[in-house]
A and B are shown apart, each in its own frame.
Chain A
Amino acid sequence: MSVIFTENLSRSFKTRDYAVRSKGLKGWLEKPVFKTVKAVDDLSFSIAAGEKVAFIGPNGAGKSTTLKMLCGLLRPSGGSAQVCGFVPWDKPQELSRQIGLVFGQRSHLWPALPVQDSFDLLASIYNLDQAAYAAQRNKLIEVFGLQDFLGQTARTLSLGQRMRCDIAAALLHQPAILFLDEPTIGLDVTAKALLRDHLNKLAHEFETTILLTSHDTDDIERICGRVILIDHGKKLIDTDLVSLKRDYARNKTLRLATVEAQPRYEISGVKIISQAPHQITLSVDTNIIALEQVVADCLGRFKLQDIAIEDFPLEEVIKNIYAGKSYETR
């Protein structure tokens, strides 16, 4: 059953075009010229209950605009959508009980209040049953490891801690859908890894449908099973993560540790990525040559101490898609 459904969803913005303005006083007196920018263009997709979907694209692709339309914060210029049975922009406050929102740079927490008090306040606003609230809060405290800073005011938390609290706050009312907009933005490597662990746990322990937008492919790989790729407001790809990698990651990385001091390898379809004494790393274009053939060849050519085959990083896959190397609209 679909909890999110969109059909030909579009959204345009009118923005002032300063490029056509004359210089000096004349510019101030001129009638302003506006141009229309299409942020989302004919977007159609549906998401079933419990699915964890990554919504990815470069800056300005229309990810956040789509998310805001699905929350009811923006009215589309065209098309239709339903979220949990509601037309979001017609009934945003009714919908708010069904959805949880996490915007990377904005917080649900009251800065001057201890986290625990912010949670209690949200429980009052959502009119939650005390027993259900306590059970959900305790579970979230455990999943996100919040015990140590529940008594701290939000303004004293680190960005990583605050983000974990924010995600927990968004889930207190047990929403059917969680919208995560850039949850790891601005976090350092350690905080990112920790948050990803918590989100991974969340994805497995809660039935909540997740729609995640992120620039960070690691977020996506850890949390989501399906990827919707958009650019210039249009959907490029809508597929599961495994298929995306299989269909678009035509390159595999082969790491070899050899007895030979200076291993050399030259064959069509294989590129040397790095070379060191007793080591060589190859990139195999599987469209030109089968990986099995290269492995067999290497086994015949070198005395191998170790061999490792790695997938092409998702980030590279996406980069290639945007660069048009494997471009295909599905």
Chain B
Amino acid sequence: MRAKVMKLASETHALLTIARFGFKNVFSTRLALLGQFMIYALIVAAYSNVFYHIPPEQLSSYHLTVSQMIWYIAITEMALFCSFYNFLDLQADIQSGLIELSLLRPISVWKLKLAEWLGGFFARFCVLSIPSFIVAGLYAGSFEINFVSVIGIIVSLGLGAIIFLCAHFMVGCATLWLKQSEPAYWLWQKSMFLLGALLWPLVLYPVWLKTIVWITPFPAVLAVTGNWVIGASHYLLIGGFVAQLIWVRIFLKLASLMNKRVWHYWQNEGS
């Protein structure tokens, strides 16, 4: 038992060190961060303009306001911009064979990658969050956030990031079978945009689609975080949080299983 605890402690320490490296690494690409923010601001501006053309009475039938719509897309897009094309990093490792060195380390590749990517995610959040909130506030003309919703957004964003990054790990690993992981990423990305409700809240979806969407992991990545700025009921917020916890557990397990599959493939097929 003591040995297990010691092992867990040392592994956690190592993973935190890796996450710190992932955090630092983001700041070596400051120009990319600036570019990301500018594109983010453009997207929010463009959609704000679209939302202002929707008659307010139509939105109010869904208990929504234009301001909430703008804040919603600002939050979901921010969640997306804090993430990155991490799967490409793994794809490059697999294609170059560099993964062999990572596989032969005492800590599993999936844990190392996840820690590094989470560090990067957190770094981007630190840089993008406040300017994003300001941009959203400027376009919406009001601030749809308070202390509780900010905490809720941060927690939801973190849990969503774990699901998102586990998915990226699996997409990256698909390189082994598909030679290129982009097709797998394309499927994941498009599903996330549509079923994760990137552009507008799920409340605007047809009932049948809403029902289907809630049994997929996609709302747990984006919609649940966005719910904090659209005045969603406590029932929906808590339900979303529970869904995130369940999907985090499932995705961590899937990433660990994928790691095993990678080992199995590598040992049997070679590079």
Contact = CB atoms under 8 A, between A and B. Distances in A.
Contact of A101 (B14, B104, B108): B104
Given A73-B267, A75-B267, A75-B268, A112 B100 contact: no
Contact of B270 (A68, A103, A121): A68
A106 interface: yes
Contacts of B233: none
A25 B108 CA distance: 44
Contacts of B134: none
B124 to A, nearest CB: 15
A74 B264 CA distance: 9
Interface string B97-111: 110110111111000
Contact of B266 (A73, A93, A107): A73
A125 B112 contact: yes
B7 to A, nearest CB: 8
Contacts of B18: 121, 124-125
A54 B201 CA distance: 65
Contact of B103 (A92, A124, A127): A92
A106 B95 CA distance: 12
Contacts of A126: 105-106
B106 A124 contact: no
Nearest to B7: A127
A127 B106 CA distance: 9
B28 interface: yes
Nearest to A122: B105
A93 B108 contact: yes
A159 interface: no
A103 B104 contact: no
Interface of A: 13, 65, 68, 71-75, 89, 92-93, 95-97, 99, 101, 103, 105-108, 110, 112-113, 117, 120-121, 124-127
5 contacts: A110-B21, A113-B21, A127-B10, A127-B13, A127-B14
